[in-house]
Amino acid sequence: MVHAFDSNLPTPVLSTRPEPTTHAPAKPFLKWVGGKTQLLDQLLRLAPPSFNGYHEPFLGGGAMFFALAREGRLEGKDVQLCDVNHELVDTYLAIRDRVRSVVLHLSAHRHERAYYYEVRSQDPSKLSPSARAARMLYLNRCGFNGLYRVNRKGEFNVPFGRYTNPRICDEQNLLAASRALSRARVSHRDFEHVLEQTRPGDFVYFDPPYVPLSASSSFTSYAKGGFGEPEQERLARLFEQLSANGVFCMLSNSDAEWVRERYSDFRVLPVLARRNVNSNPDRRGPITEVVVLGYDPAKKSLRPARIPEERISNRPHVPPTAPKDRFTASQRPRRLDD
């Protein structure tokens, strides 16, 4: 049997090592399909040099957030991080609010095949917040390719991974992540909430599930509702509206014809990424993605030629050119962050 620790127990001493005099910068504590670690240099150069609040409605692994925090660019700013994945959001909240308890639970896990499936079969709703977050981290570090996938019942169903000795608990990074998150607001929300939360001069980074390039390139179970054709159109309209309101908007997506056409009123820049998701290593390799900007990265100013309101509200809907039954892509066909 797999047992959860009693969340009512006092927080124990987790380590006899002295606290470091200088804190190491935080990095993503979850592997996440579509993570942006490899693209950070390019993304940070394209980000506005100064802005008011920061918003990330598709949090995922949080690579962009942690990178901005490492550079000190979020100091004193209102930071709002959101995602529709309940377990993901709960994990971030636990790391922010009760990290030492999470570390205690996580340190008790072990890398064994039978044990993995026993943990996987647990009902997370019956665990304490700390134990639930530790379960999420454990399955993420020991599951196949670090995928997050659920079945129609909402049950995690990723098989055991092919790792020899995965690092299940990186205590120092979890502590650093907790410090970085200490002033951030983390919530379970749909991406459209940012329309009410932003003000002119804020910076919004959108990293949604990608428009699939082919029928075989999409995952379908990141969130139970999926992220398909209607959601991509809603997102494009939101990007237009925020840009018209004077908000710095940046968006990542696949280099699909639909993306380039739909965002043709903005700057669409190609970036080279690497796809590491395929189970066949021979099918992994470099791939071109795009970054869409609602401002001029050279001038670092808001895009002067704003889209008239009537064009935003009356723009005809053109669906992406992908097989309809496959356009429920919810976990992005891209690389993993370690």
Q: Which of 267, 314, 52, 59 is nearest to 180 (CA)?
A: 59
Angular region, 60: left φ>0, alpha ψ -120 to 50, beta rest: left
Residue 235 to residue 227: CA distance in whole angstroms: 10
pLDDT digit string, tens, across residues 92-129: 999 999 999 999 999 999 999 999 999 999 999 999 99
| CA pair distance 2, 132, nearest whole angstrom | 13
Beta bridge partners of 287: 273
**pLDDT value for 6:** 42
What gap in Å lies between CA 142 and CA 111, rounded to an integer?
7
CA distance 84 to 221: 12
Residues of the chain with pLDDT under 50: 1-21, 219-222, 304-305, 317-338
Backbone phi and psi for residue 122, each to the nearest 5 degrees, phi listed first: -65, 150
pLDDT of residue 334: 35
- What pLDDT is stored for residue 274 in this prediction? 75
**Number of residues that make up the chain:** 338
Q: What is the pTM of this model?
A: 0.81
pLDDT of 11 reads: 41
- What is the distance between the terminal CA atoms of the chain, rounded to a whole angstrom? 30
Q: Residue 269 is inside which H or E element, if any?
A: strand 267-275
**Domains parsed from the chain with CATH numbers:** 27-84+189-338 (3.40.50.150), 86-184 (1.10.1020.10)
CA–CA dist 62, 173 (Å, integer): 14
Q: Classify the C-alpha dihedral 259-260-266-269 as positive or negative.
A: positive
Q: What is the pLDDT of residue 335?
A: 31
Specify the 3-state DSSP secondary structure of 131.
helix
